[in-house]
Amino acid sequence: MKDKEMVEVMRLKERIGGYHKYVDNACINQPDPTSSHFISEAERFDKDHAVHDKKQREIEHKMKMEIIEKKR
């Protein structure tokens, strides 16, 4: 217990309260679902930004067309 880094790691593991919870680096590829760096597989691979942008443009276009229709 004379190694400063090992003492610090031990204290981080045992820390409680409103602090960041220590995450063992050996489990970085399989995080606990309650940890802050967990993301589900569905969210992880749902990265089609073009579809999202197209939906946003369609909504904005529809709103503009409704405004124009109201002015008629």
Lowest-confidence region among 1-10, 12-21, 56-65: 12-21
Domain extents for the chain?
A: 4-71
- Contact by Cβ (8 Å): 7, 1: yes
Q: Is the pTM of this model over 0.85?
A: no
At residue 66 the predicted structure's pLDDT band, cuts being 50, 70 and 90, is very high
Give the pLDDT score at 17: 65
Percent of the chain with pLDDT over 70: 79
- From residue 57, give the alpha-carbon distance in Å to each of 4, 48, 60, 66, 70: 56, 15, 5, 14, 20
